Structure 1
Amino acid sequence: MMEHCCGLLTAKKEPVPLKSVEVELEVRDHVATVVSTLTYENKEDKPIEAVFVFPLPGDAAVCHFSATIGQTQIVAEVKEKQEAREDYDDALSSGQQAFLLEESEQSPDIFSLSVGSLPPGESASIRLEYVTELAVQADDGLRFCLPAVLNPRYQPQGSKGASVQVTSVPASLVPYSLSFSARVSSPRPVSKVESNCSLDPLQYLNTEQTQATVKLASGHKFDRDVEVLIYYKDAHQPTAVVEAGQASAKPGSLMGDPVVMLSLYPEFPKAVMSSVASCGEFVLLLDRSGSMDSRMNNSECRETRISSARDTLLLLLKSLPMGCYFNIYSFGSDYEHIFPESVEYSQMTMETALEKVEQMGADLGGTQILKPLKHIYSKSCIPGQPRQLFVFTDGEVGNTKEVISLVKKNSGSHRCFSFGIGEGASSALVNGLAKEGGGHAQFITGTDRMQPKVMQSLRFALQPAVEDVSVTWDLPKGVSATVLSPPITALFQGQRSLVYAQLTGQSSEAAEGGVTVKYSLAGHPSQSQLHFALRPAEDTGLTVHRLAARTLIRSLEMEKSDLTGQHDDGVKKKVVEVSVQSGVSSAFTAFIAVNKGDGKAIQGPLVRRDVPTGRFTMTCSTPHLIVCRAMPMRSAHGASRSQPHLLKGKMGKPAKPHGKQMQLSEPQRMTKKSSDAGLRLKGCSVDMCLPEQTRDPLLQLVSLQKASGCWVLDPDLAAALGKTSEEVENTKPASVFRELWATILALIWLHGFKKDAQEEWELLAMKAASWVRAQKAACVAECVEAGNDVLGCYVQKGDLGL
């Protein structure tokens, strides 16, 4: 056996089989169908096996996989995973072409595609199709993300299974091209489509503007995730889609019966939503692994993920209500916490926390999130203070399902809000934390600012919790609904909840169904209703059925699994049954395609090539390695395949080492603590620290606010407002005490100069306005008028919430 390893030595022109990736996206309302075509070419003089590890959205349902070689197309079928692997091995051993697509058992957003026995000079075209729901963003946009990066996932020591082995190169050197196009249709007009990548102009296909197409501009380097945001007019209308069953499937089965997908948008009373909770235990969990030292994006901006997180924690801490409790954890290979237990929020505890936050760097090594989570959950909840967990991570972990299982186990004691930072954050981890924790997930990519998205989630956390959620159906006689979705545990103002249900029985075409969602909000019973026609919609394919099957599969995979991911045989059997019946991937099944062709065996020894995956990197670090391992020589006449294929060790069978294998792990970053001590300012590393005088004026002003909500009249405040001490001191109305004058000046400045960033400071301004009102001063109107004169603004007293 031989082994070949190389670094960024592309001059060697080691053949890489993947030539191009073509992606077609079709969006119907809030559901997407994605078709990816991957073209391989073997330029070597011997048969090869290519292995390509790639990410997909964590909640995607892979539903079609086929391969075209020359004029022959073979369509894969779903089989139990071990059976599929054995079929793949047998095919390669007998000299046949075979293709295997499998999902990682540790993280449902990682897939491995093995292309086996591709003869010299031959091309193969792989077609992969999946369906997925599009998440609603805080600004009502629907988010689709095509991941371009698969960072090596950090695998904790002692955890089961080997880490996913990823061949990784800088994105600029990825040797395959990408094309991307999207078609959007909806009952409501498409108002706009935005992206973090350059798009050709949006083309409308009808005068109602309910259908449109858009393409990625030519020349895209595939150096980042392709993120597309779709905006509709009147996005918050509840909808129902009834999809007819598959004609060839047995009535009474999931695929044979109609399935309904409900999209619910509860509207809560404004009086309730305008109030902000003054209680809660806020536990903030910050990733400080080495990768958090990467820049936020690949522009000229020098801001790093960790520095943006520090600024965000400043805003969060200033926005917390008096009377709540809080603590801050940070983690890497190990974890730290600021206080042994959550403490009551006060000026003293806030200042202590901020001092610690300012010193936080990306210096804790790997990404072991399980240990701090266990520690947090081991602490008793504080009576009358509902626990709210905020998790910030760039999402490079290998034990995703283990982490999500722990959150699910503790979902009754808290809500979890998660934030995926930067390119390559695992959607399975970030979405899974929020979904199982009854919270909300946000992704910060490209030129996004972290602060407004985090503050949106804090507003959700401060909303009154919705309790006792129930869904009841009103259906004609003879028709019944079997709900396939897990119970709804969280409802947020303006956020969508999806419910899938299988409809069994017969009804007339004109029949109508209804569903009522009942819940308790701030102690008051409320409900939302939706009526819908039972007649199936036309031309929906089986998209809704496949999403319903995916939902059921994910629920079953989480069911009765312990923290090591072990399932009982009954659950596994049910997952395999639903997966095979629906043709949708799962952790226990795989797609297998074998081309028996003309029956002739492919001659020659078979070598293996791992296809490089683009790695998004903006920090100066050691080059990422391309790892190419040749396969042991294999007879075309049935010799056994001794090298386990990719992920086999990770999925239950220990991989046997063949010589020295290189495995990528998260880059270790050395910190010279002593020699760099004099070059650090408040804990910031040199390359990301701005001089104090050029700090963002908004953050400068926010940093001066007291925990109670007020500001103090001093030279620092004057500087933050862009004035001299004399200008703010000498214009103070005589009857006004200093803190009141300072606080009104700060509020006027925020409203007058930072209106575009209101999402970031709105909560702390509400706290300041509440403090002003509590002073019951008679001279507020005079102060506002004088403050406008000093700052050159025209803000009305009513605008300040006074």
Structure 2
Amino acid sequence: KMNCCGLLTAQKEPVPLKSVEVELEVRDHVATVVSTLNYENKEDKPLEAVFVFPLPGDAAVCHFSATIGQRQIVAEVKEKQEAREEYDDALSSGQQAFLLEESEQSPDIFSLSVGSLPPGESASIRLEYVTELAVQADDGLRFCLPAVLNPRYQPQGASVQVTSVPASLVPYSLSFSARVSSPRPVSKVESNCSLDPLQYLNPEQTQATVKLAAGHKFDRDVELLIYYKDAHQPTAVVEAGQASAKPGTLMGDPVVMLSLYPEFPQAVMSSVASCGEFVFLLDRSGSMDSPMDHSKRQESRIGSARDTLLLLLKSLPMGCYFNIYSFGSRFQHIFPKSVKYSQKTMKESLKKVEEMGADLGGTEILEPLKHIYSQSCIPNQPRQLFVFTDGEVGNTKEVISLVKKNSGSHRCFSFGIGEGASSALINGLAKEGGGHAQFITGTDRMQPKVMQSLRFALQPAVVDISVTWDLPKGVSVTVLSPPITALFQGQRSLIYAQLTGESSKAAEGCVTVKYSLAGHPSQNQLHFSLKPAEDTGLTVHRLAARTLIRSLEMEERERRGEQDKGVKKKVVEVSVQSGVSSVFTAFIAVNKGDGEAVQGPLVRRNVPTPSECGIPGALEIQGSDRRAGTGRTLRSQLAKSQEPRAKSVPPSLLNKQSGTEPKQTPRDPLLQLVSLQKASGCWVLDPALAAALGKTRKKVNQEVWATILALIWLHGFKVDAQDEWQLLAMKAVSWLRAQNASCVTECVEAGNVLLGCNVKKDVLGL
């Protein structure tokens, strides 16, 4: 059995996937992606290629077709087993066939089987999906075209042979172009890859195109960040139903997509909670040793996570409780149960955090979560869980179900670190845990994003959320989205709903979101016209179908013990009707041309997906020695591989490379200052340092003097990183106020002179 995973054939010929073309159309916050994969069989016998690739976790795959020679065949969505049988029958009888299916374990991995390409033949496959773009900490909308399919760590240990395919050997090229349009001007588009300059298509700058600079090797995720002016406006899009579908069905009726951005009263927002139980869960699997991005120069994922934990621990409010768990193949915790936050417990945990390496093997996230949930909650200390992982797990659905089951007792904030983090896992944790998800890739600093999440965690929880509709007579509404469980200031909440019935042309509807915040009832309203928008195609319908399918799949998993066939049947029905894939259906296309039976055995090739640092990307799929006319084959299982363990570099090597002792890299001055702060919020001066910093005329309390100096330094030199240190500065200010020191004004003046700054007292908040 060949063991090179279809990277090269027996004749050392390159694999059949030649190139990938991607066109992206972004309308406001919805993206439609069309990918074309071009294959060519250069061998002298018929080929079956299997290509396993990632897609964004909440994508709705809505079109799949193949062109062979002059002939185009469009795939249909069918129940999965039926589709597989049709694929096998087609190959057995000498027809070409294509099968696209979603992985059972994780909704962001698909496998594509290209059946029986005759020698010398080319095929081009077109795949289309729609997805919503998430809002980032800096208000950018993030689109990611995943290239990196890291091997997902499988807890159950089924064996699949995997060989490395270094990214440099990925033989196919990528061309990528994007068109962006929105009611508001596009201010900029950024990317982790080189882009040609943004081209505006109109004077209002509400439409623009951008493309990847030529020569991009598709060896890493392509990430685009799109910024609009004034992005936080609530909007409603009503999309007309499909003319051919019958009224009353999801595809036959109009569907509305609402984007809500709740605004909370300022008074509530400025009072930061001073309680809570903060549980930090850090991934220490081998892959966390990888660099943050592709440049290899950057600090490792685990290093970045350690720095972030430092900032988090310093920013916690006095009076709260906390604990830190870390996991790999097994898990550890710093304290047997959450402890009260104090100088002593903070110091002890920071010491332990500094020693944490990526040395715990695989990614068993389920066990530590079960352990955390088994601990009883502390009265009046709402539990907030922060999960840091590079997201390479195979049991995504199980993990998300566990979080959902416990969503009544906590909020879960998730952080996907580095390229290839599973969007299905990271988004799923936050969505089901009523929290917020962040993705942190190469050039991003983790700190601002994590501090934004901490600010969200300190915001009072929004409770009693209800959505009410006011529609004209004759129009009724069916909400397709699951109920909203969490609202955060300035973050988008989406609602999809089907509108049934007729209304007069000029009619408008109104939706009201009511909720209670820190004991105050509040509401936000949005009025919208029921007249369908022009030519949006069926994008909104497909996203709505996807939303409905995902919640039904979740329900089906929860009821699995009760033999409930009804839910599964409904998923298949919605999926087939809307043409959007689900876990129970697949896309099947058969070329019913005048095929003669394929001669000779089919050779099966597994097409590599690019991978970082030689981590395997191509997946050896369990064997099928398929001959023409023989029956069904073993169906492929997705890779179930162990993560590579972290390798340590011998110190002698380090010395040679850098010519220095293997010391830690010099610490960022901001983090250095932060690490000296006490849990209460103040800083302390050594007498020696006090002397060096110049004596003030009166005998000043040294902690007051040190704390004022630290605040001046932060405002004077680190104002651009203010979102990172804002919370710990607030803590320092409230500590200072509590001291009632008389000489604050003199200290601020002296501190400015000493540090060469000019920071006013009121800017410091004193």
- Shared fold per TM-score greater than 0.5: yes
When residues 304 and 623 of structure 1 are mapped into structure 2, their CA distance, relative to the original with a 3 A threshold, is: closer
Q: Sort the Cα spacing of 1:632 and 1:245 in 2 relative to 1 into closer, same or farther, 3 A.
A: closer
CA–CA separation in structure 1 for the residues paired with 2:249 and 2:589: 26
**In structure 1, which of residues 754, 758, 773 is the aligned counterpart of residue 722 of structure 2?**
758
Q: Is the 8 A contact 2:142 2:223 kept in 1?
A: yes
The one-letter code matched in structure 2 to 1:61 is A
What is the rounded CA distance, in whole Å, between the counterparts of 2:664 and 2:27 in structure 1? Answer: 49
Tell me, what secondary structure is at the counterpart of 1:571?
Answer: helix
Distance in 2 between residues matched to 1:338 and 1:260, nearest whole Å? 48
Q: 1:567 to 1:14 in 2, by over 3 A?
A: farther
Q: Are residues 1:343 and 2:315 paired? A: no
**Counterpart residue number, 2:593:** 597
State the secondary structure of the residue aligned to 1:333. Answer: coil
Is the alpha carbon distance of 1:166 and 1:646 closer, same or farther for their aligned partners in structure 2, counting shifts above 3 Å? farther
User: For 2:717 and 2:604, how far apart are their aligned partners in 1?
Assistant: 60
The answer to whether residue 669 in structure 2 is matched with residue 669 in structure 1 is no
Q: Which amino acid aligns with 2:433?
A: G
Does 2:312 match 1:316?
yes
Q: Counterparts of 1:626 and 1:34 in 2: how far apart (Å)?
A: 23
Which of the residues 279, 282, 285 maps onto 2:281? 285
The 5 A counterparts of 1:432-443 are 432-443=428-439
Cα displacement string for residues 252-291 of structure 1 (whole angstroms, at most 9, x for unaligned residues): 0100000000000011112211221100000000000000
* Mapped pair 1:726 → 2:725: no
Flag the 1:625–1:615 CA change in 2: closer, same or farther, 3 A. closer
1:518 corresponds, among 492, 514, 520, to: 514
> Which of these residues, 359, 369, 379, is aligned with residue 363 of structure 1?
359
5+ residue gaps, structure 1: 651-661, 681-685, 719-724
Q: Residues of 1 paired with 2:764 and 2:623: CA distance?
A: 70
For 1:216 and 1:539, the matched residues in 2 are separated by 27
Which residue does the alignment assign to 1:721? none
2:241 pairs with 1:245: yes
CA distance, structure 1, for counterparts of residue 7 and residue 627 of structure 2: 32
Matches of 1:411 and 1:698, distance apart in 2:
36
Q: How does 1:636-647 map to 2 (within 5 A)?
A: 636=628, 638-642=629-633, 644-647=634-637
Quick check: 1:302–1:688 contact (8 Å CA) kept in 2?
no
- Cα deviation 1:532-572 (Å, max 9, x = unaligned): 00010010000000000000000011115249899731111
How far does residue 715 in structure 1 lie from its aligned partner after superposition? 7.2
Cα pair 2:601 2:626 within 8 Å, conserved: yes
1:223 counterpart = 2:187: no
* Preserved contact between residue 257 and residue 495 of structure 2 (Cα < 8 Å): yes
Q: For 1:616-627, what aligned pairs fall within 5 Å after superposition?
A: 616-617=612-613, 624=616
RMSD across aligned C-alpha pairs, in angstroms? 2.4
- 8 Å Cα contact 2:6/2:607 also seen in 1: no
- Residues 260 and 163 of structure 1: is their aligned pair in 2 closer, same or farther, counting only changes over 3 Å? farther
**Once the two structures are superposed, what CA deviation does each residue of 1:162-187 show, in whole Å capped at 9, x if it has no partner?**
58877652222111010100000111
Counterpart AA for 2:564: D
Provide the residue aligned with 2:671 in structure 1: 699
Cα distance, 1:762 vs structure 2: 0.8
Deviation at 1:646, TM superposition (A): 2.0
Q: Structure 1's 37 and 312: CA in aligned 2 closer, same or farther, altered over 3 A?
A: same
For 1:27, the equivalent position in structure 2 comes to: 26
Q: 1:629 to 1:701 in 2, by over 3 A?
A: closer
Matched, 1:790 2:734: no
- Shift of the 792–12 alpha-carbon distance from structure 1 to 2, 3 Å rule, reads farther
Task: Tell me by how many angstroms 1:782 deviates.
Answer: 1.3
CA contact (8 A) 2:161 2:620 kept: no
Give the C-alpha shift of residue 337 in structure 1. 0.4
Indicate conservation of the 8 Å contact 1:166/1:612, yes or no. no
Give distance in 2, aligned partners of 1:151 and 1:319.
33
| Cα distance in 2 for residues equivalent to 1:606 and 1:766 | 68
C-alpha distance after superposition, 1:137-178 (max 9, x if no partner): 1111110000010011000037xxx58877652222111010
Report the alpha carbon displacement of residue 634 of structure 1 after superposing the two structures with TM: 3.8
Q: Is the 8 A contact 1:167 1:611 kept in 2?
A: no
SS of corresponding position for 1:353: helix
5+ unaligned residues in a row in structure 2: which ranges? none
Equivalent residues of 1:49, 1:609 under 8 A apart: yes
Q: Residue 151 of structure 2 contacts residue 640 of structure 2 at CA under 8 Å; is this kept in 1? A: no
Q: Letter of the 1:134 partner, please give it.
A: L
Aligned residues: 764
User: Which residue type is aligned with residue 783 of structure 1?
Assistant: C
- 1:551 aligns with 547
Deviation at 1:780, TM superposition (A): 1.1
Asked if 1 retains the 8 angstrom alpha-carbon contact of 2:5 and 2:607, the reply is no
Report the counterpart of residue 497 of structure 1 in structure 2: 493
Match of 1:659?
none
Contact 1:184–1:211 under 8 Å retained in 2: yes
Name the SS of the counterpart of 2:278 in structure 1: strand
- The residue correspondences of 1:646-657 to structure 2 (distance < 5 A) are 646-647=636-637
Structure 1 residue 623: deviation in Å? 6.9
Tell which deviates more after alignment, 165-174 or 693-702: 165-174
Name which of 723, 745, 765 aligns with 1:781: 745
Q: CA deviation at 1:783?
A: 1.0
8 Å CA contact retained: 1:610, 1:629: yes
User: 1:594 is paired with a residue of what secondary structure?
Assistant: strand
CA contact (8 A) 1:21 1:179 kept: yes
- Determine the C-alpha separation between the residues in 2 that align with 1:391 and 1:166: 29
Q: Distance in 2 between matches of 1:495 and 1:164?
A: 42
Q: 1:13 offset after TM fit, Å? A: 2.8
1:103 aligns with 2:99: no
Shift of the 769–690 alpha-carbon distance from structure 1 to 2, 3 Å rule, reads farther
